[in-house]
Amino acid sequence: MYTTELSATPTRIAAAEGVEDAARLAEFDARVAADDFIEPKDWMPEAYRRTLIRQISQHAHSEIVGMLPEGNWITRAPSLRRKAILMAKVQDEAGHGLYLYCAAETLGISRDEMTQALLAGKAKYSTIFNYPTLTWADMGTIGWLVDGAAIMNQVPLQRTSYGPYARAMVRVCKEESFHQRQGYEAVMALAAGTPEQKAMAQDALDRWWWPSLMMFGPPDDNSPNTAQSMRWRIKRETNDELRQKFVDVTVPQAEALGLTIPDPDLVWNEAKGGYDFGTPDWDEFYAVVRGEGPVAMERMEARRKAWDDGAWVRDAAMEHAAKQRSQRLAA
């Protein structure tokens, strides 16, 4: 009896758990190193879980906030065909947000908690959606550059170590490819149009180029999360590696359109087999991350209004589910 009590003291329990955790950690590390997927019911380090919640929820918020700049143009699309495509794209973004919220929920956080974190300014969303969409050319350019950057970032995430996130990315990437192509095709039409239309396309490229490069996050030597996320295989390529790939595939696309990338330092580097390019304005990036982007207030107001306006739908859905549950229990 005495020995049982002694062995159950908190200190001993903690020590035993420590040993157990070390064993579980070793098993977790080995599975990650073997490119196994970690699944919701598997043991995982608490910091891994928190990092995933941070990244996946912010990714989900980006998809949802990302509907706003394009939603702004649905009523003003220049033809029925363009309107139908744009509506489908914006709906796809809503779907991406939902898969991602579901993936994050498997880590033990609720959709409400994630939304509250966004509305309280604690959770971020991509800087890119804090810029205004001024002309129709912005719709094509967002598809071309923003979805293009998103694909570059998300294709490696299909092999991220957390199973539900990786699987969500498979469908998201297929849809993003369509988005990128429709955007490029819309810019092609403008670039081959009247001088005014071509000027609109160039103006949109001038405004969206640098913010698109910022989507990949800060430079690696200034990215607090990259090293650990690469070790955990949450991230499969670093911010700078992905930014370089994006520049390398996008420059020839701009050339084919007869448009000019607004970077005087852009030059092919034969030795590295890629382009050298200028430095994004990182002060601007950090200001936008802090919530000081050109239309940041407008974006958050729209999210807050959508959340408040949707309260009755959530209440009705909860009430309906409760009624169904009690009917099942009574049957």
239 lies in the site for ligand BYC, by CB under 6 A: yes
User: Which SS3 state, helix, strand or coil, does residue 73 take?
Assistant: coil
- The owner of tokens 């649905």 is 74
* Sign (positive or negative) of CA dihedral 22, 23, 26, 27: negative
- The residue within the footprint of ligand BYC, chosen from 140, 218, 280, 293 (CB under 6 A), is 218
C-alpha neighbours within 13 Å on the C-beta side of residue 128? 31
Q: Smaller CB distance to ligand BYC: residue 101 or 216?
A: 216
Q: Which stretch binds ligand BYC (CB under 6 A): 6-14, 21-29, 220-228, 318-326?
A: 220-228
Q: What's the CA gap between 69 and 303, in Å, rounded?
A: 12
Any contact of residue 127 with ligand BYC (CB under 6 A)? yes
Which span (181-189, 221-229, 293-301, 319-327) binds ligand BYC, by CB under 6 A? 221-229
Q: Which of 72, 153, 160, 244 binds ligand BYC (CB under 6 A)?
A: 153
Which residues make beta-bridge pairs with 276?
A: 267
Kindly write down the DSSP assignment for every residue of 305-324, as one continuous string. HHHHHTHHHHHHHHHHHHHH
- Verify binding: residue 126, ligand BYC, rule CB under 6 A: yes
**Selected binder of ligand BYC within 72, 141, 229, 250 (CB under 6 A):** 229
Please give the distance of CA 315 from its chain centroid, rounded to a whole number: 28
What is the C-alpha to C-alpha distance for residues 173 and 179, in angstroms, rounded to an integer?
A: 10
Is residue 256 a contact partner of residue 167, using CB atoms and an 8 Å limit?
no
Task: Report how far residue 112's alpha carbon sits from residue 133's, in angstroms, rounded to the nearest whole number.
Answer: 29
Question: Between residue 66 and residue 85, which ones bind ligand BYC under the rule CB under 6 A?
Answer: 66
Q: Does 124 bind ligand BYC (CB under 6 A)?
A: yes
Q: Does 212 bind ligand BYC (CB under 6 A)?
A: no
55 binds ligand BYC (CB under 6 A): yes
Question: Site for ligand BYC (CB under 6 A): which residue of 158, 177, 197, 223?
Answer: 223
**Residue 180, C-beta contacts closer than 8 angstroms, at least 6 positions apart:** 143, 144, 147, 148, 151
Nearer to ligand BYC, 59 or 198 (CB): 59
Note the residues at the interface with ligand BYC (CB under 6 A). Answer: 54-55, 58-59, 62-63, 66, 93, 124, 126-127, 146-147, 150, 153, 214-218, 223-226, 229, 235, 239, 289
